[in-house]
Amino acid sequence: MELAIVIAVVVVALAFDYTNGFHDAANAIATSVSTRALTPRVALILAAVMNFVGALLGQEVAHTVSDVIDTSGFDVEHGLVIVMAGLLGAIVWNLVTWYFGLPSSSSHALIGGLVGAALVGGATVSWKTIIDKVLIPMVLSPLFGFVAAFLVMLLIMWLFRRANPHKVNRGFRLMQTVSAAGLALGHGLQDAQKTMGVIFLALVTSGHAAAGDELPLWVVIAAAGAISAGTYSGGWRIMRTLGRRIIHLDPPRGFSAEMVGAGVLYTTAFAFHAPISTTHTITSAIMGAGATKRFSAVRWGVAKSIVTAWVLTFPMAGLAAVICYYLLHFPLEIFIG
């Protein structure tokens, strides 16, 4: 029975990873597609490959995620149900926001789901990790992304102020291949590791691994493959929101947004081990780069709805996880006596 639940948790974790891929595919390619730097299919292939490669580059974020809750002190089945409920809560919220085309954070949905399931299931929540590694970066990374993209775009405008606009756009379209690849690499580095962390948490809960161990290679490869497959399947609803509804980007602004977004992802992963939101980062960078046209060029009404989804993600994913916990817990209790 215990082994069956472990397998079920791993399968659900990979399903979350897949939904993360198609939910967040737009993060890496929306700007390049909207500026016509890349065709949608080429962009998806590029994003899928770079997501897979990025997932192989580190484990720091994965260990941070595995430390968010502590399921020790419970019997194995109960601890695994908590992890499973957290995953299901995140999947539910991902699907809801995907349906409505809102680029919410899969990362925060996962953390919110785990916390919600842990609270109702009686597990320990590491609030220090939540505050230091999740909440503070959640606030600071979009602000930094907006300001940095705004400043980078101002620099580009100054450097190329006397250049032929047609040649500038053509050059930055070519450069967007590099910036889109860099952003997709950062997405894999960040988001695939979060699923690795949850699978590792399940293995620790079941006694198949110890907290200080390295992640097993099969966990890394499976998570990388799942997010890559999900990315390839696309996220067209959210892509329209990021690439068109916020602002119509030109290639220089698309490039500046992507490069700033990638830089933030690498820095937070390697320097701070913080599981930040790729969605928050690139969306704010798009707004920052777009605001250099004029602030009124950004459709702030759309931005407001996106921010609302950001704010709601943590509690709503937690609530969904609470419901999933009860749906899982009582039948299991009856089954195992």
Average pLDDT over the chain, rounded to an integer: 87
The pLDDT assigned to 27 comes to: 65
Opening angle at CA 149, ends 146 and 154, nearest 5: 125
Distance between CA atoms of residues 250 and 255, nearest Å:
9
Tell me: the pLDDT tens digits for 49-101?
999 999 999 899 999 999 999 988 778 888 999 999 999 999 999 888 878 77
DSSP 219-276: HHHHHHHHHHHHHHH--HHHHHIIIIIS----HHHHHHHHHHHHHHHHHIIIII----
Q: 76-99 vs 106-121: helix axis angle to the nearest 10? A: 140
Opening angle at CA 192, ends 271 and 56, nearest 5: 70
Q: Is the pLDDT of residue 16 over 80?
A: yes
The pLDDT assigned to 236 comes to: 58
Tell me: the pLDDT tens digits for 17-41?
998 887 776 666 777 877 888 887 7
Q: What residue type is 166 in one-letter code?
A: H
Q: Is the pLDDT of residue 132 over 80?
A: yes
Tell me: the pLDDT tens digits for 242-298?
545 545 678 999 999 999 999 999 999 999 899 988 888 888 898 899 889 877 766
Tell me: the pLDDT tens digits for 208-224?
998 889 999 999 999 99
Contact 256, 149 (CB under 8 A): yes
Q: What is the pTM of this model?
A: 0.88
The pLDDT assigned to 290 comes to: 87
Q: What residue type is 296 in one-letter code?
A: S
Which range among 114-128, 131-145, 314-328 shows the weakest confidence by mean pLDDT? 131-145
pLDDT band at 119 (very low <50, low <70, confident <90, very high): very high
